[in-house]
């Protein structure tokens, strides 16, 4: 059963950073710990190269993969916001949710995710 967020005892601010995202999906956040819920507040992709590079962000909810951002172009030596605090979403423990990213150019993109771990 999903965590009732009106009855939480703890909210811990957390940041996950992954350097050099490969072209294959790599987990940025998750899986969600049992009896926890993660509120994703922001996800930022930074391009470390001088040429534009693409990034894709997906939510894996059990066996269902949902694309949140597909082949978003990140200009060279710049960053873009893939998820902002104006559009947060929740990751649940009941489906062992994970948030994954992949890059069109291997090792060009770093990802940082800010989220609240609620239990």
| pLDDT the model gives residue 63 | 85
DSSP the chain: ----GGG-S-EEEEEEEESS--SS-EEEE-PPPTT-EEEEEEEEEEE-SSS-EEEEEEEEETTEEEEEEEEEEE-TT-EEEEE-TTS-EEEETTTT-EEEEEESSTT-EEEEEEEEEE-
State the pLDDT at residue 1: 61
Q: Domain tally for the chain?
A: 1
Q: Which domain holds residue 54?
A: 13-118
Asked if residue 3 is part of any domain, the answer here is: no
Residue 82 lies in a domain: yes
pLDDT over threshold 80, residue 26: yes
Q: The CATH number of the domain where 26 resides is what?
A: 2.60.120.340
**Residue 1 forms part of a structural domain:** no
| pLDDT value of residue 98 | 94
Q: Does residue 64 fall inside a structural domain?
A: yes
């Amino acid at each position: 059963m999903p965590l009732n967020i009106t009855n939480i005892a703890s909210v811990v601010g957390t940041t996950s950073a992954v350097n050099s995202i490969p072209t294959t999906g790599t987990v940025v956040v998750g899986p969600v710990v049992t009896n926890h819920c993660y509120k994703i507040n922001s996800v930022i992709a930074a391009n470390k190269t001088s040429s534009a590079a693409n990034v894709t962000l997906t939510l894996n909810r059990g066996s269902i993969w949902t694309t949140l951002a597909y082949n978003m172009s990140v200009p060279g030596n710049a960053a873009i916001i893939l998820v902002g605090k104006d559009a947060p979403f929740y990751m649940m423990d009941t489906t062992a949710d994970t948030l994954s990213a992949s890059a069109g150019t291997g090792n060009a993109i770093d990802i940082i995710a800010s989220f609240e771990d609620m239990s």
